[in-house]
Amino acid sequence: MQKNKKMIKKFKNPIYVSGPIFPDLNKYVDRLKEVWDSGFITNSGKQVEKLEKKLSKVLDVPEMSLSSSGTSALFNSIRYCKLSGEVITTPFTFASTIHSLTANGITPVFCDIDYETMNIDPERIIQLITPKTTGILGVHIFGVPCEVNRIKEIADKYGLKVVYDAAHAFGLKYDRIGIGNYGDASIFSFHATKLFHTAEGGGIVCKNKAMKKNVDIMRNFGIKANEKVVGPELNGKMSEIHAALGLEVLRYIEDEKRKRRKILNIYDRRLKNIKGIIFNTELKKYNLQYFVIKIDKKLFGKSRDEVNGLFKAYNVYTRKYFYPLCSNYPHYKNNISSERSKLAVANRVSKEVLALPFHGNLSEEDANSICDILISFSK
């Protein structure tokens, strides 16, 4: 029986897991006038240049090379690091992480994760290293940092490169420096569902100007100069329209974080003592990208899938990030490393995890109603 069902309102409008920042349209149009006046709508004009400089400061990294998506940034950072053969990675991530490896002709070798952080478990990496291993691809899942120092130790010992998918980690710091400084390359996603966005977009962190020069060439078909093509690369450029949007969105980040912090405090206070609801109570320390819970069916009384389905009746659209597990996709499930027994934690997590609505368009009342609804499903 659901408790207090009559008291709980159904939302009039759908409540989604994420909601982009929409900056003041007039200000955006003013900025677009600059683009119109410049005569350059893409191919690395002034807006991209400005946004790269601003983001390098905000993210506390030396240089940024903006791209058309987080996926193109990931694809190119893997190429920049010359990864090949086998790369050890997490199965608990978005499709993009793993596809970026296979699209580069690399075999993903799946490594189990830590139950609490849901990140790759460094101690299990070592057992997976073979003569074909060239690198480690870590993901700071939901904006929670990987064990970057331990991963570096392992990579140095075995002569491996490290690439970080920091798609969720905008503004995150680790040991007081921007998370993008870790690894041989790090990428961000600036998709609309992210804390900071350019509608579609992403970027590679560059350690110095020389790396930026190389990566900039990679996002431009490998064209170094007129009549000089240095590699078989693709188009991964960010347009001026997207960069202009990003420059406006950037003004709202602190306000968005303030709003998200309020929602997080409500979720934290109302859900932390509910039996069978598990979440990382350290989330306040991180970057406010997602609010994700795990549901223990035995203790809560309903499974994650049941809860996800029941929420819909209230017009609330929670998401099973990340289900199915990448290692269970039809094209990866026959890899030796995909065996479920070797990925016990990841398989468990992917059946328990549920992302709750988490963005600045939610009111405190909305967050409380979402908690009321969730609590009403418990036994």
Instruction: Rule CB under 6 A: say whether 90 interacts with ligand T4K.
Output: no
Scored b (16 or more CB within 10 A) or e, 275-295 reads ebbbbbeebeebbbbbbbbbb
Question: Could you write out the DSSP letters of every residue in 132-193?
Answer: TEEEEEEE-GGGPPP-HHHHHHHHHHHT-EEEEE-TT-TT-EETTEEGGGSSSEEEEE--TT
**At a CB cut-off of 8 Å and minimum separation 6, what does 334 contact?**
none
Region of 325 please: left (phi>0), alpha (psi -120 to 50) or beta.
beta
Of 2, 11, 19, 116, which lies in the binding site for ligand T4K, with binding defined by CB under 6 A? 19
CB atoms within 10 A of CB 67: 31
Instruction: Rule CB under 6 A: say whether 315 interacts with ligand T4K.
Output: no
Among the listed ranges 82-90, 160-168, 174-182, 254-262, the one in contact with ligand T4K (CB under 6 A) is 160-168
Instruction: Round to whole Å and give the CA distance between 245 and 351.
Output: 36
Instruction: Rule CB under 6 A: say whether 358 interacts with ligand T4K.
Output: no
**At a CB cut-off of 8 Å and minimum separation 6, what does 375 contact?**
3, 270, 271, 274
Among the listed ranges 93-101, 115-123, 215-223, 370-378, the one in contact with ligand T4K (CB under 6 A) is 93-101
Instruction: Rule CB under 6 A: say whether 96 interacts with ligand T4K.
Output: yes
Instruction: Rule CB under 6 A: say whether 113 interacts with ligand T4K.
Output: no
Among the listed ranges 26-34, 108-116, 297-305, 313-321, the one in contact with ligand T4K (CB under 6 A) is 313-321
Instruction: Rule CB under 6 A: say whether 362 interacts with ligand T4K.
Output: no
Q: Which two tokens stand for residue 325?
A: 């597990």
Q: Which position has the token pair 């997207």? A: 242
Of 192, 241, 253, 310, which lies in the binding site for ligand T4K, with binding defined by CB under 6 A? 192
Which residue sits closest to ligand T4K, CB atoms considered? 70
x/- track of binding to ligand T4K for residues 317-336 (CB under 6 A) = x-x-x---------------
**Helix (H), strand (E) counts: the chain:** 13, 16
Instruction: Rule CB under 6 A: say whether 133 interacts with ligand T4K.
Output: no
Instruction: Rule CB under 6 A: say whether 234 interacts with ligand T4K.
Output: no
Nearer to ligand T4K, 67 or 338 (CB): 67
Instruction: Name the minimum Å distance from CB 193 to ligand T4K.
Output: 5
Respond yes or no on whether the N-terminal peptide bond of residue 322 is cis (omega within 30° of 0): yes
Instruction: Round to whole Å and give the CA distance between 33 and 367.
Output: 39
Nearer to ligand T4K, 70 or 246 (CB): 70
Nearer to ligand T4K, 76 or 338 (CB): 76
Instruction: Rule CB under 6 A: say whether 256 interacts with ligand T4K.
Output: no
Give Rg (Cα) of the chain.
21
Query: Which residues of this chain interact with ligand T4K, rule CB under 6 A?
Result: 16-20, 69-71, 74, 93-94, 96-97, 139, 165, 167-168, 189, 191-193, 202, 317, 319, 321
